[in-house]
Structure 1
Amino acid sequence: MSTLLPTSVSSALTPGTYIYGLLHTPTSITTISSDDCIRHLDATTLSLLPDGLIQNAHRSVTCLEPISASAETYATAGRDGLVKFWDRRTGKSGMGIESPNNTPLSALACSPDGRAVVAGTELEKDGPGDAPVFVWDTRNPNVPVLLLPDSHTDTITTLSFHPSHPHILLSGSTDSLVNVFDTRKPDEEEALYQVINHSSAIHHAGFLNETDIYALGTDETLSFYQLQSEDDSVVEPAPKALGDVREGMGLEYVVKVMEVGGEACVVGGSHSSQYLDLIPLRRPTGDLPLNWAYDVGERVRLPGGHGEEIVRDVYSDAPSRTTYTGGEDGSVRAWKLADADEMDVSEGDGLQSKKAKKEKNRDKEERRKHKEKKKERFKPY
C-alpha cells in the first residue's frame, strides 16, 4: 500500500456547502459547489485566483464537464434547465442552451470531438416517469438534433461517450438501466443500440476500453458488461458481477470509477476511519473476457480524507503526480506521495508501485531470456 499526503487545502466554504465536482488544467482547478458558484483555484496552492469566483452560475448547479482536452473551456448544467459554456481564461459564459420546457438537468457529457453536448434530466417526483436525454450539435444548438424521451423512466445520473467513437453514447439512470445509443440515427427507436439491466439504481457507468463497460450502483454493486457487437453471430460473454464491493475493498462508500495513468481504479472511502482509497482494477487476461478484478494490495491511501465527510469528486494528474479531491466539507485538497520514489503513476503505467513495476519488468526480462534460450535450442534447419 502506498500513501498520499495532503500538500495544500483550499479555504473552507460556508458550513454546509458541498463541493460537487472539479476539473483540472495544468495551472488551475475549477469547481462547482452547492452554493451555485464556480471557483477557479490555483493548482498548486488551491487559493482562489483573481476574478476566480463566479456567483449564481445556475439556479441549483448539478454538472461540470470539460469541452476542450485542456479543460480551459467547460460546460455546466443545472436544475434551471440550462447548459452554459464557459472560458476559464475570461471567466465568462459564452453560448448557452435551454432544455425543452426548462426540464431540470442532472447529467452532462461533451463528445471528444466537441461537436455534441448531451444532457439528461432529473425526475422531480418519484419514478417511473419521463426522463429524456437531449443531444445537441454545438454548431447549431437551438433545438436538440436527437431526443431520447422513452428509454429511461427515472433520473439520469451519468452520461459518457465511447473513447474512440464519438457517436456512441452511454446513459445510466436510477431506473437501473444502462443504455447505449448510436447518435447518428434520426430517432430513439433506431438509435437505441443496447440495453443493460444492472438491477440497481445507477450511480456511475462508462467505458473502460473499446469493448468493456462498467456499472456502479447506488448500493455499491459493481459489474462489467461487453459492448454489443455489430456482428450478430458473435456470442457475448456473461457479465462479471462483483456485487457490493465495500467489504472486499474495506470501504464504506464508493465515489466513482476513474482512470489514473491509463489504468482504471475504484475510488472509495471510510467515514469512521477517515481515509480515501484508490484501488486499481486489473484488466482481463487470456481467454477470460470481462474478468476484471480489484487489487487491494496495490491500493493508494489518502489518510484523513475529508474527515467524516463524503468525498464527492476525485482527479489524479499523472504529469504532476498530484491527486485532487473535493468533499462535503466544502474544501478541495491536493495530495502527493509521501515518498516520491514509492509509486509510478506515469501515463500508461496506472497505479503501480515501484516495487511492482520492477517485479513486472524483471518477469518480462526472464520471459525474454527464456524465449532466447528456446530459440537457441530450436534449430530445425
Structure 2
Amino acid sequence: MYNLSCAYGYRYPGSEPIYIVDIIPLATGLAAAASDQSIRLFDPQRLNQGPLKRLQTDHGNLTSTKSFNSVDSIICTTGENGTISLWDLRLDSANAQVLRIQGDGTSLLSLACSGQTNGVAAGTELANHQASILLWDLRSTSAPKIQYNEVHSDDVTELNFHPKNPNFLLSGSTDGLVNVCDTTITDEDEVVVQAFNHGSVHRAGFLNDSEVYALSHDEKFALYDMAEAAEKGTATLDAGDIRTVVGCQYVANVVPKMNGAGAVIGAGSQDQEMFRLIHLSKNAAQSPWSLDSDTVVGLPGAHGSELVRSFCLFDEQQVVFTAGEDSFIKAWRP
C-alpha cells in the first residue's frame, strides 16, 4: 500500500460539528456541501485560507448536490422541501442562485444533471404510497416534462444519466432495484430497459457505456452489464459484502474513471483511522474486473474516528481531497 500525507486542510468553524457531505471539483475551485445547509467554494491550492464564497441553501435539509456543468462551475442542489436550485459559482454570492424550481412539497432525495440536454432529474422519497422520478427541461420549468410514478416502490436514492446518451437514466431505490430507463419513452410499462435486483441501493452509477455498479446500504457490491449480449439481470462481478473483501468498515463512494476503464472505491475504517482508495480495474484477461490490491492508496489518520463522506481526485495535480463528519476538508499528496 502506498500512503499519502495530509498536506493541508480547512476546518469549518463552530462548537458543533458540521458534516461535510459532498465535495465537487469545478473549473473555479472545489465546491463543498455541508450539514449546515451551505455551499462553500474553495481554492483547492489554498484550502487552508478558507472559502472564497459561501451560499446558503433554502431546501430545509440539503439532500443532494450534483455538478450541472463543471466547466462553467454550475451546480444543482435539492432537499426535503422539494425545491431544486441551480447555482452559478462564478457569480457573487448574492446573485449565484440563477434558477429555482418549486416542487409539490414532496422531499427530494437524489439528483441527476445533463448540461448536454438542459435536463435535471430528481427522485422523491416514498410519500402517500408513491415514489417518483421527475424530469425537467430547464428551459421550461413550470412543470416536469416527465414524471414516472411506478418505476420504483420506495425512496429513490440514486440517479445518474448515461455518460454518452443522456436519454438513458439510471435509478436506484431502497426497493432493491437498479433500473435503466429510456426517457424518450413516457409509457411506464415500457420505460425500463434493464433492471437489476441488488438490494437497498446506497450508490449506483455507470462505469462505461454498458456496465453499472451498485452498492447497497449493507455494503453489498456488484457490477452489472446492460448490453444485449449480457445475461439479463445477472451480476458480472458479485463481491458480496465489500467490507470483508477489502478489509474496511464502510464504503464512502465509488468514482468511475473518465476513460471507462475502471473506478476508485473509497473505503474507510474508523477504528484504524484509515481511508483507502482501491482501484477497480478492467482487464482483457479471463476475469475482466478485479480489485487491484497492488495499487491501494492509503490516507493514514484520515478524519480520525469520524466517517469520510466524500472524496475526489485531481490526477494532474497529484492531490486527493477528502471531506468528513469531523468538519474538515483535507488535501492529500505523495
Please indicate, yes or no, whether the TM-score normalized by the shorter chain is above 0.5.
yes
Rounded Cα–Cα distance in structure 2 between residues aligned with 1:3 and 1:182: 43
Rounded Cα–Cα distance in structure 1 between residues aligned with 2:230 and 2:31: 44
The C-alpha deviation readout for 1:288-310, integer Å capped at 9, x for no partner, is: 5xx42211221011111111101
Runs of 4+ residues deviating >6 angstroms: none
Deviation of the 1:167 alpha carbon: 0.5
Give 1:165's aligned residue: 165
Rounded Cα–Cα distance in structure 1 between residues aligned with 2:282 and 2:166: 23
- Say if 1:205 and 1:216, in contact at 8 Å, map to a contact too: yes
Give 1:312's aligned residue: 309
- Say if 1:38 and 1:57, in contact at 8 Å, map to a contact too: no
Give 2:108's aligned residue: 105
Matched, 1:78 2:79: yes
Give 2:318's aligned residue: 321
Two-structure CA RMSD over aligned residues (Å):
1.8
Question: SS of the counterpart of 2:205?
Answer: strand
Give 2:276's aligned residue: 277
Give 2:231's aligned residue: 236
The C-alpha deviation readout for 1:224-257, integer Å capped at 9, x for no partner, is: 111142xxxx452741211001122111111111
Rounded Cα–Cα distance in structure 1 between residues aligned with 2:119 and 2:301: 39
Give 1:330's aligned residue: 327
Deviation of the 1:58 alpha carbon: 2.5
Q: 1:235 to 1:24 in 2, by over 3 A?
A: closer
Q: 1:121 to 1:267 in 2, by over 3 A?
A: same
Q: 1:133 to 1:13 in 2, by over 3 A?
A: farther
The C-alpha deviation readout for 1:244-286, integer Å capped at 9, x for no partner, is: 0112211111111113564412111100000110100121424
Give 2:50's aligned residue: 48
- Say if 2:28 and 2:73, in contact at 8 Å, map to a contact too: no
Name whichever of 38-47 and 85-94 sits farther off.
38-47
Q: 1:246 aligns with which of 235, 243, 264?
A: 243
Deviation of the 1:131 alpha carbon: 1.1
- Say if 2:162 and 2:170, in contact at 8 Å, map to a contact too: yes
Matched, 1:3 2:6: no
Counterpart amino acid of residue 96 in structure 1: R
Name whichever of 279-288 and 34-43 sits farther off.
279-288
Q: 1:315 to 1:107 in 2, by over 3 A?
A: same
Counterpart amino acid of residue 108 in structure 2: L
Rounded Cα–Cα distance in structure 2 between residues aligned with 1:35 and 1:154: 27
Rounded Cα–Cα distance in structure 2 between residues aligned with 1:335 and 1:188: 46
Give 1:351's aligned residue: none
Q: Using structure 2 for the length normalisation, give the TM-score.
A: 0.92
Q: 1:248 to 1:186 in 2, by over 3 A?
A: closer
Give 1:256's aligned residue: 253
| Higher gyration radius (CA) | 1
Rounded Cα–Cα distance in structure 1 between residues aligned with 2:182 and 2:225: 16
Matched, 1:211 2:210: yes
- Say if 2:266 and 2:275, in contact at 8 Å, map to a contact too: yes
Q: 1:316 to 1:114 in 2, by over 3 A?
A: farther
Identity within the alignment, % = 33
Question: SS of the counterpart of 1:67?
Answer: strand
Give 1:299's aligned residue: 296
- Say if 1:67 and 1:114, in contact at 8 Å, map to a contact too: no
Q: How many positions carry a matched residue from both structures? A: 325
Segments of 5+ residues of structure 2 without an aligned counterpart are none
Rounded Cα–Cα distance in structure 2 between residues aligned with 1:261 and 1:307: 30
Question: SS of the counterpart of 1:295?
Answer: strand
Name whichever of 234-243 and 244-253 sits farther off.
234-243
Question: SS of the counterpart of 1:45?
Answer: helix
Deviation of the 1:12 alpha carbon: 2.9
Counterpart amino acid of residue 102 in structure 2: E
The C-alpha deviation readout for 1:207-234, integer Å capped at 9, x for no partner, is: 11111111111111111111142xxxx4
- Say if 2:132 and 2:151, in contact at 8 Å, map to a contact too: yes
Rounded Cα–Cα distance in structure 2 between residues aligned with 1:250 and 1:324: 22
Q: 2:97 aligns with which of 93, 98, 109?
A: 93
Rounded Cα–Cα distance in structure 2 between residues aligned with 1:246 and 1:124: 32
Rounded Cα–Cα distance in structure 1 between residues aligned with 2:147 and 2:327: 36
Question: SS of the counterpart of 1:59?
Answer: coil
More helix by share: 1
Counterpart amino acid of residue 179 in structure 1: N
Counterpart amino acid of residue 42 in structure 2: L
Deviation of the 1:78 alpha carbon: 0.8
- Say if 1:206 and 1:215, in contact at 8 Å, map to a contact too: yes
Give 1:350's aligned residue: none
Question: SS of the counterpart of 1:159?
Answer: strand
Give 1:348's aligned residue: none
- Say if 2:27 and 2:70, in contact at 8 Å, map to a contact too: no
Give 1:28's aligned residue: 29
